[in-house]
Amino acid sequence: MKKIAASVELGKDVLLNDFINLYGCKIGDGTRIGPFVEIQKNAIIGRKCKIQSHTFICEGVVIEDEVFVGHGVVFINDRYPRAIGSGGELQTEADWKVVGTVIRRGASIGSNATILCGVTVGEKAIVGAGSVVVKDVPGRVIVAGNPARIIGDIQDAEDRDSPERNRSAGERKRGRVGETKKPAAGRS
């Protein structure tokens, strides 16, 4: 079962799983939306994004192209949420101001992260699982914790994951993996 309002703008080749609730949002070409996701009005999702299950994307969130959003990520759009106004009545949209959030191109948000309003997560940054982001995250860094703090940068992570780095010291000294040196003349 999919609940998609007529006000939703879907790009080409968008993949929508069952049990989603979309209204008044824009979703770019080639994006995948997992099950049990809600995306509210005035939220914008770019092209080629992956939004995993159980994620809540509220009004005022802009997610640029090629962003990964893990399972159970929650975005916040109100700095001081209250149920009732000063007169004791339930608040309406007129009683509070939406504070936006921007997730820049190629960023990754780990599962169960919470992204508070008014922040920008930089291009290709990684937010660790379970993190609480309370301030801007620069591009190409890795943050984790509550509150999220910089624990590394993307270059360090790419170096750690490179095939060269993952070879043993002996393999690096000898040459390529599987390559053997010929014994020197006169030795057997």
Q: Which CA distances in Å does 78 have to 37, 81, 116, 143, 173?
A: 20, 6, 8, 23, 56
- Name all domains of the chain by residue range, CATH numbers in brackets: 2-153 (2.160.10.10)
If phi > 0 it is left, if psi is from -120 to 50 it is alpha, else beta; for residue 162 that is beta
Token pair 């994004």 in the structure block, residue: 49
pLDDT of residue 179: 47
pLDDT at 188 over 70: no
| Burial class of residue 178 (count of CB atoms within 10 Å of its CB; 0-12, 13-18, 19+) | exposed
Q: What is the mean pLDDT of the chain?
A: 89
For 48-81, write each residue's pLDDT tens digit: 999 999 999 999 999 999 999 999 999 999 999 9
Would you place residue 166 in the very low, low, confident or very high pLDDT band (cuts 50, 70, 90)? low
- pLDDT surpasses 50 at 177: no
Whether residue 25 has pLDDT greater than 90: yes
| % of residues, the chain, pLDDT over 70 | 82
Compute the average pLDDT of residues 97-117: 98
Give yes or no for residue 157 having a pLDDT over 70: no
2 falls in which pLDDT band (50, 70, 90)?
Answer: confident
Q: Quote the DSSP letter at residue 83.
A: S
Residue 51 backbone phi and psi in degrees, to 5: -110, 110
Percentage of the chain with pLDDT > 90?
A: 75
- pLDDT of 176 reads 46
Q: Residue 75 — left, alpha, or beta (φ > 0 → left; ψ -120 to 50 → alpha)?
A: beta
Are 113 and 70 spatial neighbours (Cβ–Cβ below 8 Å)?
yes
